[in-house]
Amino acid sequence: MPSAPFLHWHADPGSACELCREAGGLPVADAARWRVVRVADAAFPAFYRVVWNAHAAEFTDLSPADRAECMEAVAAVEGALRDGLRPDKVNLASFGNVVAHLHWHVVARFAWDSHYPQPVWGSAQRPADADAASRLALPLDRLDAAVRAAALRPAR
């Protein structure tokens, strides 16, 4: 079960930006400047986003210290996915073409997933597994807990 609603991020219902109005997924971790959500996608059950809380369109809109903090969060999520799932690959991406709000996609990928080795936004290579989450080494509630613990652990 994902964590309780966010303590630091608060929706701005009047914003034109989707990630200012909405969380962007199921709540997993909440820090003062960023949040981690899990995307509800049955075909890609280990698909997370690290979303910068304040509206910023580009990574270089952040101060050097904020960029470092953001990338530490991305690295922590990636590390939790690698440790907990042993995926074939972890994809990291930040586009913003559709939603111009700074966020990073962190997606554990497996040779069995429907699009592998193509990106999750690419062409399917085989039919999607209707119960892909059951193929993960950890159930989603335990994976979310591991991601939350890693993301909120102070940087070393």
pLDDT in tens, 44-58: 999 999 999 999 999
How big, in percent rounded to 5, are the helix, strand and coil portions of the chain? 30, 20, 55
- Residues 6 or more apart from 5 whose CB is under 8 A from it? 27
DSSP designation for 59: G
pLDDT for 1: 41
Q: Are 77 and 151 in contact (CB under 8 A)?
A: yes
pLDDT in tens, 5-26: 798 999 999 999 999 999 999 9
pLDDT in tens, 83-106: 999 999 999 999 989 999 999 999
Top CATH class, 18-152: alpha beta
Residue 3 has pLDDT above 70, yes or no: no
pLDDT for 156: 57
The structural domains of the chain, with segments of one domain joined by +, span: 18-152
pTM score: 0.94
